[in-house]
Every structure is written in C-alpha cells, then in structure tokens.
Amino acid sequence: MATKTEPTKRATQPKGDSVGRSGSTSRRDPTATTPVVPGRSETRRVTSDRQASFTVPTLDTDDGTAVANFLQDRLVSMADLASVLKHIHWNVVGPHFVSIHQMLEPQYEGVQEMVDELAERVATLGGVPRALPGAIVAQRSWDDYELGRADAIAHLGALDLVYTGVITGHRAVIAAIDDVDPISQDLLIGHTRALEKYQWFVRSHLADWAGGMSTAGAVTEMGAARAVLDKRPPAVGRRTS
Ligand SMILES: [Fe+2]
C-alpha cells in the first residue's frame, strides 16, 4: 500500500510576458506581497489582485497561483490576437476582400470564446484575470500589429506569424504545466487544436502546390507581408515586354 503520495511537479512561474511583469502587480496592489496588517487603511480597501485563499482541489495555492499566472500570460496573448483579427477584418482590401473579411469573423468569435474560457479558469484557480487594454500592453512583450490597410495576401502573411507566436506560447505552457494541472492543460490543448486549424486556413492561402510557403524566412509581420507581395504572380494579362 502506498503510504506517501509522490510530490507533484511544481509549476514554475512564467517568464517574460507573465503576470507581474513591469511591476504591474505591485503598482495595482501595494500590499499584494506583504502581510496584511489589520487597521483602518485595510478596512477601507474595496479591491485586490491577490491570489485567493483557495484554488482547485488537490493543488496547493502556490501551484494554483503558478498555473493561474501561466493562463494569465496566455489570456493576454489571446485577447491581443482577438484585436488583431478584428483589425484585419476591418482593414483588408483588394480582390479577395470578401473571402478574407468573412473568413476571419468565425476565427475572431472562436478566439473570443477561448479568451472567456481562459479568464474563467484563472478565476477558478483563485487568480484575478486581467485583459483590459492597459493590462495587455503592460504584460505583452511585443508591439501592436504592424499593418494597416493592406492587400489580403499581405495581411495573411503577417497573420501567419501572429498565429505562430500565439501557438508557440500555448505549447510552451502545455509543457510547463504537465503533471501539475491536467485540467488547465486540457483546456489549452483544445484551444491549440483550434488555433492550429485557423492557422492552416491562413497558410493555405500562402502555400504553393509543392508545399512551399511564400513567407518562408520572414521574421516580422511587415517582412512577411512584403515577402508574399514580392512572390505574387503577375496579374493575368499583364505584359512585361
Ligand atoms: Fe464585421
């Protein structure tokens, strides 16, 4: 008979875009990391970003906090992605306007649903989900999407890179919380499956019959947009000589 439970693999705090980056947590809640001293000032407080005293069953609060922070990291990434999808939906132009404008609407709705599920899981774990614009800007490590009004194929080249970044982050967290919280991991796996399908929709516009990608080698959104425009075949009927 087993007399001792194997210690669970402890989740480590997310790095980079994680909660608390740039000191946002301490700025919002100066007492978040210090003991609460009952007194007049404490009784006047009406809000807190502190981890709750509870988390989900079988996790201790340290692991609950760590997993919630990982999910907060992904929440920021997904809320940003939702904005990017709407931005492209509004700013795509050219002969393929209708197909891309319409293709992105269900992707936006799907991502918004995932944002809600992530935020509710953070709260379930005892955390405080934050996806207001200020929180997104404070916690993300990237700049705004680079393109404004642009051809459909240019936006798709850039969007492919956006999806790669989000999916890479999801897969990293899936690995990080393995053996710690299979429920949160399952949520992220489901989301990643959908995101990879969305990226396939995008990539199918950029791939050729031989399997090549017109964005190959691009590392920035603007670079990807330029790459696909450079490789676009000449317009039908256009004479070069
Ligand atoms: Fe619309």
Q: Which pLDDT tens digit goes with each residue over 160-217?
A: 999 999 999 999 999 999 999 999 999 999 999 999 999 999 999 999 888 888 887 7
Within-domain flag for 28: no
Task: Give the model's confidence band at 5: pLDDT under 50 very low, under 70 low, under 90 confident, else very high.
Answer: very low
CA of 229 to the centre of ligand 1 (A): 25
How many structural domains compose the chain? 1
Check residue 231 and report its DSSP letter: T
What's the pLDDT at 1?
40
Q: Which domain holds residue 166?
A: 56-230
Residue 30 has what pLDDT? 37
Report yes or no on 210 lying in a domain.
yes
Model confidence at 25: pLDDT above 50: no
Ligand 1 centroid to residue 81 C-alpha, Å: 16
Q: In the predicted model, is pLDDT for residue 34 greater than 80?
A: no
Cβ neighbours for 119, distance < 8 A, ≥ 6 positions apart: 75, 129, 131
Q: Which residue has the higher pLDDT, 164 or 49?
A: 164
Q: How far is the CA of 17 from the centre of ligand 1 (A)?
A: 30
CATH number at residue 90: 1.20.1260.10
Ligand 1 centroid to 133 CA: how many Å?
21
Tokens 């680079």: give the residue.
Answer: 146
How many whole angstroms from 92 Cα to the centroid of ligand 1?
Answer: 12
State pTM to two decimals: 0.80
From the CA of 89, how far away is ligand 1's center (Å)? 7
- Residue 143 in any domain: the answer is yes
